[in-house]
Chains A and B, each alone.
Chain A
Amino acid sequence: MTGPSKRQDTHGQDSPGRSSNRPLAALLAWLLPGLGHMYLGQRFRGRMILLGTLFLVTFGVLIGGVDVVDMQRDRLWFIAQAGTGPIAFLLDLLNQALLKTASPGTQAQFTSLGNLNSTGTLYIALAGLMNVVVIIDALAGPERAHDTPGRRSTDR
């Protein structure tokens, strides 16, 4: 890992780069997955992180319905899901507004059970946990060139 004001070029050598506000990048990464990397100039990586997170969240809700994000009933799972940032809170809000206030018959129709609920919950929890890794990478990850193809000295 190099210092905060240096980045590695395509040959793994240090070259001066634009100094970035890493804590701001981490905050942006929580607010919208991938935004932190885009802010750091790694636009391709940022776009792929956003695409991957939205893919997991969309699939999770598609599998189990909005019931898979529930801050009150599945609090421990929600802690992991909250890693996706406002997306998880918005889904919980939708769940509370659409399902929890509905009649018992409607709730029974739209509440997912068994493997589908577990799988949908897992999808969004994994998206959240992966975004925690993304946030750490934005905060303290290695300096990279601005989406320039190359190799990190630590990678094979």
Chain B
Amino acid sequence: MKFLAWIPFLSPMNWIQSAWYLLLIPLALGVSMIYKAMRVTDIHAYWRQVGVMTLQVVLAITGLAVGLILFVRYIIPMT
């Protein structure tokens, strides 16, 4: 039912509002595609390297988020 009022490319994807953080994955994929197109030395390994970089970016940002959560919830209240 949430999709009925949605007009792609015109109205925003309001139905994904509650899980907006998942949009990090295609963002990391797109940036990796462009970066690795310039940087990769063996073009046969292009897609594998794109996958590896996407995973690295997602894991790094998830790690930062977890670190920030721990800092705000546990370290700051102690001070």
Contacts and interface: CB of A to CB of B under 8 A. Distances in A.
Interface of A: 33-34, 37, 44-46, 48-49, 51-53, 55-56, 59, 61-67, 98, 109-117, 119-120, 122-123, 126-127, 130-131, 133-134, 137, 141, 147, 149-152, 155
A120 B41 contact: no
A126 B13 CA distance: 19
A113 B14 CA distance: 9
Contact of B29 (A55, A65, A112): A55
Given A62-B9, A116-B17, A56 B38 contact: no
Contacts of B11: 65, 109-110
A14 to B, nearest CB: 16
A67 B12 contact: yes
Contacts of B14: 116
B30 A52 contact: yes
B17 A155 contact: no
The size class of the interface chain B forms with chain A is 20 to 34
Interface of chain B, main secondary structure: helix
Interface of B: 7-14, 16-17, 20, 23, 26-27, 29-39, 41-44, 46
A55 B26 contact: yes
Contact of B33 (A55, A66, A147): A55
A66 B10 CA distance: 6
A155 B41 contact: yes
Given A62-B13, A63-B12, A116-B20, A123 B44 contact: no
Given A62-B13, A66-B10, 4 more contacts: A53-B34, A55-B30, A126-B27, A149-B43
Nearest to A58: B9
A123 B30 contact: yes
A56 B17 contact: no
B69 to A, nearest CB: 17
13 contacts: A34-B37, A48-B33, A49-B33, A49-B38, A56-B30, A59-B26, A62-B13, A110-B11, A116-B13, A127-B30, A130-B34, A133-B34, A155-B39
A66 B13 CA distance: 12
